[in-house]
Structures are given as C-alpha cells and as structure tokens.
DNA sequence: CGAAATATTTAGCCAAAGCTAAAAATATAT
DNA sequence: ATATATTTTTAGCTTTGGCTAAATATTTCG
C-alpha cells in the first residue's frame, strides 16, 4: 500500500500539525532527520496521492485521507508499544524503537486482532491515547508539571518525550505512569520543581523534565 | 543491518540449498518472483558482504555467516506464525503472509522475548521446526502421505506448502496437525490415496495433496 | 524601503533493487 | 563435433528516496 518512508512522513506531519496549522518543510525535515530538499520531494509525492495539500513556500497539511492514514499508523505504533510492555516485559524506554519497525506491518486484520487480544487498551506505556479502528481516541488532560501550581495531589498520566535517557531517569526516580505526587515548590531562579512522592520521598527536577511530565488531578 | 530484499534472498537461498547443493540463478529468481538478472546482481552484493560464495555460471551457496542469518530469519518467521495462530487466533492459512512482514523486524531482544512469552515452541502451525537462538532445531520425520504404505495409523505432523487454498482445503477435510489417520489404499491409476480419519469418515485425496501432507507413526 | 538573513525549491547527483534486451557461457542433441 | 538450446551475465534504463549546491522566494531588520 504505502512505503515505510511515506508512512513515516505522514505520521510526522500529523504530529507537527498539532502545534502549527501548516507544516513547514524545515520542521518536517528536522523531525525526520533528513534534509529540506528531500522533504519537498516527498511532499509532492504525497500530494499527488491525495494525502495532503501543499502550497509552495508555505507548507502542507493532511487531507481527510491523510489524517485517517496517520491515525492508523499511530494506532499500530501504540498497540505494539502496549504489547511489548504488557506482554513481553519490555521497559517503557525500550518499546518506542521496536514499535517504529512494527508499526509498518500492514495488515488491518493483524491490527484489529491485536487490539482484541490486548483488551482494547486506551493508552500506550507513555500515556498516549490509542486510536480505535475509526481513529477516535480518548482525550488526555495533559498539564505539564511545570505548570501545575495546585497544592492538591497530582497523578502522572503521560510523558512528552520518547528519549531513552529521559525515560530511564524517570524510572530511576520512580516517576511512572499512574504514580501520585505533590508539587512542593517552583523555584523562580531556574524553574526547578520540588516534588514529593506518595512514598514520602521528595526531590527536585529540572524545568526540562517538568515540562515533559504530564499530570492530572487525582480522581476521588 | 540487512535490507528486506537481502533477507528474502538469504532465506530463499537457504531453502533451495536443502535440495540442490549449489543454488542456481534461475531457481532463485523463480522462488522470489523476480528475474535472473536481478538475482545475479543481488548474489554479487551478498558475496561482497560475506554471506555466500559465488562462482560465475555455476551458482552460490551460503557461508557460515549466511546460514546463521538465514536461520535467524526463519526463527523470526516461525515464531511470529506461532504467535499469530496461538495468541491472536489466525487460521493456519493466514499466518504466512503476515509473518513475511513481521520476520523483517530486526531486534534480537524482541525475538528472544517473544520466544520466552510463547513458551519456546518447537514447531510452527505448519509443523515446521523453529530454530533456537543458536540455530538448532528439532529434526522432523516427514514421510509424505503419498509414500506411507504401512497399515498402521499415522499422525499428521507437517505440510509441504503454504498455499492458502491448499491449507483451506485441509481444514475443510479436518486434516490438521496432530490428527490421526489410516491409509486405506493407494490407487495406481492416478496415485489417488484413500484414507480414514480417527472419526471414522473416509475419503480420497489427490496425489498432489498426498505429497504435501507429512505424517509420522503414532507414538504409543 | 532595501539589504541581509532565512526558508524553500530546483537541479543534478547517488545507491538500492528492480526490469528488458543483448551478449556470452554452458549444456544438449543430432 | 558442430549446431542448437538453455542458462547466466552484462549493459543500460527505471523508480524510490536520499544527498549537496545553487537558485529563488520570503521574512526580518536597519
Ligand atoms: Mn512511541
Ligand atoms: Mn516508523
Ligand atoms: Mn511461513
Ligand atoms: Mn520476507
């Protein structure tokens, strides 16, 4: 159906589109570790296939068809991440790289049977929602810890990066999905955040870290 | 590491090598639904990488390294087939096509964790043995039904083709791996074989079919 | 506004993996 | 032992998806 390269472009465009309404060539190239010239070429190919619309020197944005494809690829990626983590015992810092390969196995039957087998999971190991067959997915309230000013306890519900060392650091600090914490203080000097776990232990984390940890109010 | 094309060539050469000691360009091209010219090109590439040795106009055969790679790909293929069949509920006629894609996901960690998760299965859904990490696998006694002359009951332990309609036909006739049967008669005229299942029902199958059903003596 | 900086596209390469058609080597048959 | 047939290789072309360098468009800033 679609080549691996095409699928990777579509997925990247989809992700970039959440932030900017139109996706710029340079941003796309950066996201895919390639060059602007290559991105321009592929954009033209994808436009010819009706997956996106493109205006020279301005940028591109996915069509309905393009979005549907993107959500299907994301569905495959996150279902495999869940499988690797839940069934095979991979660490959450290991699953992304393998899922990058598995997501390109094209068989809707496989995807749907996997979904059934896993019990229709709603979130992947990083807290990202898994689209269903129609592309619908749970909305996630995602307040970065850097903006959480409430005294009330918060629950970690997602992370903003797939970087291995970032995720390893979180595991080390016992900051996993579902874990409860309270923000003790935001230091103005460098935006360091001091927090306390349910276990009682308290420590500080950098602003960079705080920006990539998403929390929500603890449900009662 | 290796491209999908390279892996497919290595796997095909390995399979052809069981029959002929040296693999001929035309046979390889036929196996891969490609042309002799393309096969020649790839053979040269694989020789340069040390995976096979090649003599012009004569043929090629895998080196130690090449065989090791081939067995690893076959291991991945058969483990995925087992997974699809056992865990996801795929029919045995559906698994091969999907496994053709999954086999190219390159992660030894994934392969080994999958093996553990599946409980170190010895055979895939078609009765083919699954190599372990070192490339060792169970030897299968495989007498085709066309050559089974004994009156003693036999157990189906493998099939000689992955063709979908062939496997569907077997399912229809209740001829699955592990099933018991007795050969009633070989008809000389067209080599038709008459057989009887443990259920009591008896019927005939064509020579072509009989050649692709492997049996072994029922263990007591 | 106009110059400089930045972003994007175009032009012209390259490697992988396929193809056809022609040439060359090997095998077969009279 | 030739002549014919078959097999294999070579040569030259195609597509996909990269790249660099140069050209062009857009944005920013003095
Ligand atoms: Mn991921
Ligand atoms: Mn990918
Ligand atoms: Mn198979
Ligand atoms: Mn394959």
Q: Provide the mean pLDDT of chain B.
A: 96
The two structure tokens encoding residue B34: 């490609």
Asked whether strand D has any atom less than 7 Å from the CB of A38, the reply is yes
- Asked whether the beta carbons of residue A89 and residue B114 sit closer than 8 angstroms, the reply is no
CB pairs under 8 A between A and B: 44
User: CA B172 from chain center: how many Å?
Assistant: 21
For A102, which residue in chain B has the nearest alpha carbon? B105
| Of B212, B41, B117, nearest in space to A87 by CA | B117
What pLDDT sits at residue B211? 95
Q: What is the percentage of chain A residues whose pLDDT exceeds 90? A: 95
Q: What is the largest CA-CA distance in chain B?
A: 58
Asked whether the beta carbons of A50 and A2 are under 8 A apart, the reply is no
Distance to chain B for A4, nearest Cα, Å: 12
The mean pLDDT of B76-98, rounded to a whole number, is: 98
Residue B12 has pLDDT above 80, yes or no: yes
pLDDT tens readout for residues A165-178: 999 999 999 999 99
Distance A11 CA to ligand 1 centre (A): 11
Which residues does residue B186 pair with via DSSP β-bridges, in sequence order? Answer: B193
Asked whether the beta carbons of A125 and A95 are under 8 A apart, the reply is yes
What pLDDT sits at residue A140? 80
Distance A81 CA to ligand 1 centre (A): 7
Indicate the Cα dihedral angle B185, B189, B191, B196, nearest 10°.
-30
Residues of B in contact with A109 (CB under 8 A): 90, 94, 98
What pLDDT sits at residue B163? 92
- How many other C-beta atoms lie within 10 A of the C-beta of residue B105? 19
Rounded distance between C-alpha atoms, residue A58 and residue B109, angstroms: 43
The two structure tokens encoding residue B66: 């090449």
Residues of B in contact with A106 (CB under 8 A): 101
Name the helix (H) or strand (E) containing B65.
helix B64-86
Distance B79 CA to ligand 3 centre (A): 10
- For residue A38, which nucleotide's C1' is closest to its Cα? D18
Question: Which positions 34-73 on chain B have a beta carbon less than 7 angstroms from any atom of strand D?
Answer: 36-37, 39-41, 43-44, 54, 56-57, 59
Rounded distance between C-alpha atoms, residue B81 and residue B164, angstroms: 14
The pTM assigned to this predicted structure is 0.94
Is residue B57 very low, low, confident or very high in pLDDT (cuts 50, 70, 90)?
A: very high
| Of residues A102, A110, A114, nearest to B105 (C-beta) | A102
Residues of B in contact with A105 (CB under 8 A): 98, 101-102, 105
Residue B59 has pLDDT above 90, yes or no: yes
What pLDDT sits at residue A142? 84
The mean pLDDT of B75-90, rounded to a whole number, is: 98
Residue B22 phi/psi, 5-degree rounding, is -115, 140
Is residue B63 very low, low, confident or very high in pLDDT (cuts 50, 70, 90)?
A: very high
Task: Tell me the CB-side half-sphere exposure of residue B215, using CA atoms within 13 A.
Answer: 27
The mean pLDDT of B157-164, rounded to a whole number, is: 93
For B118, which residue in chain A has the nearest alpha carbon? A88
For B105 and C14, how far is CA from C1' in angstroms?
27
Q: What is the percentage of chain B residues whose pLDDT exceeds 90? A: 95
- Per 3-state DSSP, chain A is made up of helix, strand and coil in percentages (nearest 5) of 40, 20, 40
pLDDT tens readout for residues A110-161: 999 999 999 999 999 999 999 999 999 998 878 999 999 999 999 999 999 9
Is residue B10 very low, low, confident or very high in pLDDT (cuts 50, 70, 90)?
A: very high
Residues of A in contact with B97 (CB under 8 A): 107
Asked whether the beta carbons of A88 and B109 are under 8 A apart, the reply is no
| Of residues B89, B90, B106, nearest to A101 (C-beta) | B106
Asked whether the beta carbons of B128 and B78 are under 8 A apart, the reply is yes
| Of A33, A29, A55, nearest in space to A42 by CA | A29
Q: Rg of chain B's alpha carbons, rounded to an integer?
A: 19
The DSSP-derived string for B114-182 is HHHHHT--SB-TTSPBPP-TTS-------EEGGG---SS-EEEEEES---HHHHHHHHHTT--TT-EEE
Output the 3-class SS for A124-168. CCCCCECCCCCCCCCCCCCEEHHHCCCCCCEEEEEECCCCHHHHH
Asked whether the beta carbons of A8 and A32 are under 8 A apart, the reply is yes
Total length of chain A? 220
The mean pLDDT of B57-74, rounded to a whole number, is: 98
Indicate the Cα dihedral angle A15, A19, A23, A29, nearest 10°.
-60
Is residue B19 very low, low, confident or very high in pLDDT (cuts 50, 70, 90)?
A: confident
Per-residue CA distances from B12 to B7, B19, B26, B73, B131 (Å):
9, 12, 12, 11, 16
Is residue B219 very low, low, confident or very high in pLDDT (cuts 50, 70, 90)?
A: confident
Residue A10 has pLDDT above 80, yes or no: yes
Distance B195 CA to ligand 1 centre (A): 53
pLDDT tens readout for residues A55-94: 999 999 999 999 999 999 999 999 999 999 999 999 999 9
């Amino acid at each position: 159906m679609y080549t691996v390269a095409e699928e990777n472009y579509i997925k990247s465009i989809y992700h970039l589109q959440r932030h900017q309404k139109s996706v710029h060539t340079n941003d796309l190239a950066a996201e895919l570790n390639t060059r602007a010239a290559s991105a321009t070429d592929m954009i033209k190919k994808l436009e010819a296939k009706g997956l996106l619309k493109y205006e020279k020197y301005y940028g591109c944005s996915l069509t309905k068809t393009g979005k549907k494809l993107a959500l299907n690829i994301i569905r495959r990626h996150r279902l495999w991440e869940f499988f690797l983590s839940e069934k095979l015992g991979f660490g959450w810092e290991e699953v992304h790289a393998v899922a990058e390969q598995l997501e390109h196995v094209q068989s809707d039957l496989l995807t749907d049977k996997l979904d059934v087998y896993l019990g229709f999971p709603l979130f992947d190991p990083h807290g990202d929602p898994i689209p269903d067959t129609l592309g619908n997915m749970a909305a996630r309230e995602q307040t970065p810890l850097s903006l959480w000013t409430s005294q009330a306890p918060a629950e970690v519900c997602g992370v903003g990066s797939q970087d291995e060392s970032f995720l390893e650091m979180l595991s080390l600090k016992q900051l996993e999905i579902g874990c409860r914490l309270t923000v003790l203080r935001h230091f103005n000097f460098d935006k360091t955040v001091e927090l306390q776990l349910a276990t009682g232990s308290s420590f500080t984390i950098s602003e960079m870290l705080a920006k990539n940890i998403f929390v929500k109010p603890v449900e009662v």
